[in-house]
Structure 1
Amino acid sequence: MQQYYFSLHDTTQQLFLHRGPAAEAEFIWLDYTREDVCQHPEQWQQQVLQHTQLWLNEYHLRDILNLEHPCNFDSLEDYDLLIFRKLITPDDQIHNFNDEAHEHVFGLSTTPVSFILTPQVLITVSEQGNKAIENYIARLDTILSRPAEEQNKPKKLATSPLDLALRLLNSMVDDYLNLRHPLTRRVEFWQRELLQGHRRFNQWHQLLQENMAFQHVENLCEEQIDTLQELRDEIVENYLHLKGKKRSEKQEIMLVRVDDLSSHVARIQKHTLRLRSAIQAAIDLHFSAIANQTNENMRILAIITAVFAPLTLLTGIYGMNFVMIPGLDSPYAFWVMLGTMLITTLLLLYYFYRRHMVGRGEKSVLDMLSQRPDRTRMDLFWFLDYVPGKPLLPEGQNALRDSQLKPK
């Protein structure tokens, strides 16, 4: 257990920090680990009652001990209970107490942090190894090593239990903000895997898990926004109950801090939604590329079939079992038929090429879409209208040029 007393200095009239109990303390902060509460819950309640004259509801005690409890805010006459789920980062050294597993969804683990708020007391219950709490405790220990007159000169100490709780929540929300970069890197990885063309994509199970992880983050952000909104409503309605009798901080400052936390969580939610949309767009592009490749293969097969259809017809005609077929006795019939088949094949390939059906690329597709209907037919007698020294231009451009060159 860690306990800190925030008192008002007699001469400077500024807050200073100390560990010993004091009757004139403005407010106190009691920090407990979840292990302390789980081992002896009744003794823990008695200890809280001894320090704060506060008796916790048994249902709230169950909520504090529940590892899977969602974000929630509940207000009673004596105190307010706020449960906020913190993201477990690689810097945290949180272990599973009593073999209980934290909520773990595809690489993202969260743990609940409970805040019990009164006008003079803040009680926090978190896992041992929670870096957000431990870093702030280390910061307070650094301030505690200074003289009492110089501890709050830059005004770094919290002015109320609500202010202290919001500062701790801010450090937890920062962990979610740091999650944006690795999530973006994961999306870039899946985009490369989906849009690569050298091998078939077969990691659909892992991609579905990633998508569900993004949905889990969105749901978690929505719970956090609702919880912070309930806390904001409580500040608006019962701010005198939350700030205490001896402090004079303005209500607008607390509202600005709560709104700032809500906006940060909303940014994380919107960023996750954009990442899910990026993955869905990559999936759509993947299937579009597969469909385009299938259409290209079918187009090639159709061209091959169309080219060999006349050849099959010719070989079928001259392969009929009739006694008298013209040309069977000629020594040149085979070469004439072979030349006819070769010329037919070349003419068909040339026709398909002029219709942009062979060797089609991006440029040829644009040309095919931009040409006029009357120019789509193959003109084998274009040279009849050709004038030497006159460049070949489309009909509309030729007419425009002739009108410009005509003497007035």
Structure 2
Amino acid sequence: MQVYYFYRHPDEDYAFIRKEPSDLYILDYVWVDCVRQDVVGHVESWQEKIQGLIDVQINEFHLQDILNIEHPCSFDTMEDYDFLIFRKLITPDDHLHLDEKNAEPHQSEFGLMTTPVAFTLSPRAIVTVREKGNRAIESYIERLHALMLKPEEEQNKTRKLPSTPLNLALRILNSMIDDYLQLRAPLTKRVEYWQQELLQGHRFFRQWRQLLQESMAFQQVENLCEEQIETLQELRDEIVENYHHLVGEQRTEGLDIMLVRLNDLVSHIERIQKHTARLRNSIQAAIDLHFSAISNQTNENMRILAIITAIFAPLTLLTGIYGMNFEFIPGVKSPQGFWLMLVVMLLCTLFLIIYFYRRHLVGRGEKSVIDMLAQQHHQKGVNLFWFLEIEPIKQTIKSVEKMAKLK
């Protein structure tokens, strides 16, 4: 447990931070930073220490929520304080000391690990409960320690210290949400990997189970972002309705500034949610392209088989005719009949190949899609009864039609 006191000089207008209490300065608020090991197994003694430091008694149900490492993001209000739980993404920079029993609830199906951080906000104090090794909070504490090495009158010059518990909570939340923003790059790489696996085309795709888990993981990230947005919206409503309850009488920062910072946090989470939704849609589009490619390959195979069948169909017809058991068939007893039949069959084959080639059923890869559509339009205009358009035949048909009408 670490305690930090935020003071203001009574005569000169500057703020500073100390780790020891003092009666010579005006106390703005107290930050009590605790790790989970301080609470587990010592709930009653820990509650007494907190009550002695900040004069706030934490509700027993909130104590249970603090001990529950599976608790989702939530926000609750009490008469003396507000209670907020926000789940932080565990990154490689974090060095959490978790055994197998405690690490299992943190693990999600995707492999992303999150851990809850509890905030207890009152007008004059803030209490945080986290896992040991939480880099987002520890890095902020390191900056505070660096400031405490400076003279008191210079601590608030380079970067303003948080003047209220709410301001401090928003800064910690901002550092935690930044970890989610860094999640976009590895998620994009995962989508690119699955797109290559689905669309490479040189072998069958068999990793459907892993792909389904990945798709569910993206959905879980979206659900987590939705929980975080709802929690921050509830906090925003509380700020708008009971701002004095959160900052006390010392209102050194306006309501508008707090709302701007909170809206900025919500916009960051919405960016993560929208990016994850786009990635999930990209995976679905890759799946659709995969099945379209398979369908196209199947159609191509059927086209080749149909062409082969069409080429050999006349040959089968000819061999079937000359295989009939009739006493007299032209050319059966001729010494040149066999060779003539082979020539006819070869000519039929060449004629069909040329015909299919002209119709772009063979060698269609040499034509573009536009050329094939234009060729199809041209073929639609071909008149199979072109010989009826010859003028003498046309006149004869007209005369026959007139005679039919006279009758």
Would the TM-score normalized by the shorter structure come out above 0.5? yes
- Distance apart, 1:11 and its partner CA: 4.0
Partner of 2:323: 319
Instruction: Tell me the distance in 1 between the aligned counterparts of 2:22 and 2:199.
Output: 66
Partner of 1:268: 272
Q: What is the SS of the residue equivalent to 1:305? A: helix
Partner of 1:120: 124
Partner of 2:4: 4
Q: Does 1:192 align with 2:196?
A: yes
Partner of 1:402: none
Over 3 Å counting, the alpha-carbon distance change for 1:150 and 1:365 in structure 2 is closer
Listed one character per residue, the Cα deviations across residues 330-358 of structure 1 (whole Å, up to 9, x for unaligned) are 11101100000000011111111111111
Partner of 1:55: 57
The one of 349, 353, 365 equivalent to 2:353 is 349
The amino acid that maps onto 2:9 is H
Q: What is the SS of the residue equivalent to 2:220? A: helix
The amino acid that maps onto 2:358 is R
Q: Is the 8 A contact 1:7 1:26 kept in 2?
A: yes
The amino acid that maps onto 1:19 is K
- Distance apart, 1:274 and its partner CA: 0.2
Q: Does 1:298 align with 2:302?
A: yes
Partner of 1:220: 224
Partner of 1:363: 367
Q: What is the SS of the residue equivalent to 1:222? A: helix
Over 3 Å counting, the alpha-carbon distance change for 1:169 and 1:5 in structure 2 is same
Q: Where does 1:178-189 land on structure 2 (aligned, <5 Å)?
A: 178-189=182-193
Over 3 Å counting, the alpha-carbon distance change for 1:362 and 1:109 in structure 2 is farther
Q: Is the 8 A contact 1:35 1:97 kept in 2?
A: no
Q: Is the 8 A contact 1:351 1:378 kept in 2?
A: no
Q: Does 1:21 align with 2:21?
A: yes
The one of 160, 172, 175 equivalent to 2:176 is 172
The one of 117, 139, 160 equivalent to 2:164 is 160
Over 3 Å counting, the alpha-carbon distance change for 1:95 and 1:220 in structure 2 is same
Partner of 1:404: none
Partner of 1:393: none
Deviates more, 1:178-187 or 1:14-23: 14-23
Over 3 Å counting, the alpha-carbon distance change for 1:7 and 1:364 in structure 2 is closer
RMSD: 1.6
- Distance apart, 1:105 and its partner CA: 2.5
Partner of 2:37: 35
Q: What is the SS of the residue equivalent to 1:361? A: helix
Deviates more, 1:365-374 or 1:202-211: 365-374
Instruction: Tell me the distance in 2 between the aligned counterparts of 1:378 and 1:296.
Output: 29
Instruction: Tell me the distance in 1 between the aligned counterparts of 2:342 and 2:98.
Output: 83
Instruction: Tell me the distance in 2 between the aligned counterparts of 1:112 and 1:377.
Output: 74
- Distance apart, 1:98 and its partner CA: 7.8
Partner of 2:250: 246
Deviates more, 1:172-181 or 1:101-110: 101-110
Q: Does 1:69 align with 2:85?
A: no
Q: Is the 8 A contact 1:6 1:27 kept in 2?
A: yes
Instruction: Tell me the distance in 2 between the aligned counterparts of 1:109 and 1:132.
Output: 15
Partner of 1:96: 98
- Distance apart, 1:97 and its partner CA: 5.2
**TM-score normalized with structure 1 length:** 0.90
- Distance apart, 1:107 and its partner CA: 1.4
Percentage identity across paired residues of the two chains: 63
Give the length in aligned residue pairs. Answer: 380
Q: What is the SS of the residue equivalent to 2:188? A: helix
Q: What is the SS of the residue equivalent to 1:218? A: helix
Partner of 2:403: none
Listed one character per residue, the Cα deviations across residues 370-408 of structure 1 (whole Å, up to 9, x for unaligned) are 2434676499x9xxxxxxxxxxxxxxxxxxxxxxxxxxx
Instruction: Tell me the distance in 2 between the aligned counterparts of 1:362 and 1:255.
Output: 62
Over 3 Å counting, the alpha-carbon distance change for 1:177 and 1:362 in structure 2 is farther
Instruction: Tell me the distance in 2 between the aligned counterparts of 1:50 and 1:61.
Output: 17
The amino acid that maps onto 1:68 is E
Q: What is the SS of the residue equivalent to 1:156? A: coil
Partner of 1:203: 207
- Distance apart, 1:138 and its partner CA: 0.4
The amino acid that maps onto 2:310 is A
- Distance apart, 1:145 and its partner CA: 0.6
Q: Is the 8 A contact 1:103 1:111 kept in 2?
A: no
Q: What is the SS of the residue equivalent to 1:208? A: helix
Over 3 Å counting, the alpha-carbon distance change for 1:346 and 1:42 in structure 2 is same
- Residue segments in structure 2 that go unaligned for 5+ positions in a row: 387-407
Q: What is the SS of the residue equivalent to 1:105? A: coil
Listed one character per residue, the Cα deviations across residues 175-212 of structure 1 (whole Å, up to 9, x for unaligned) are 00000011001101100110001111111111111111
Over 3 Å counting, the alpha-carbon distance change for 1:314 and 1:165 in structure 2 is same
Over 3 Å counting, the alpha-carbon distance change for 1:97 and 1:329 in structure 2 is closer
Q: Is the 8 A contact 1:67 1:103 kept in 2?
A: no
Instruction: Tell me the distance in 2 between the aligned counterparts of 1:314 and 1:363.
Output: 34
Partner of 1:109: 113
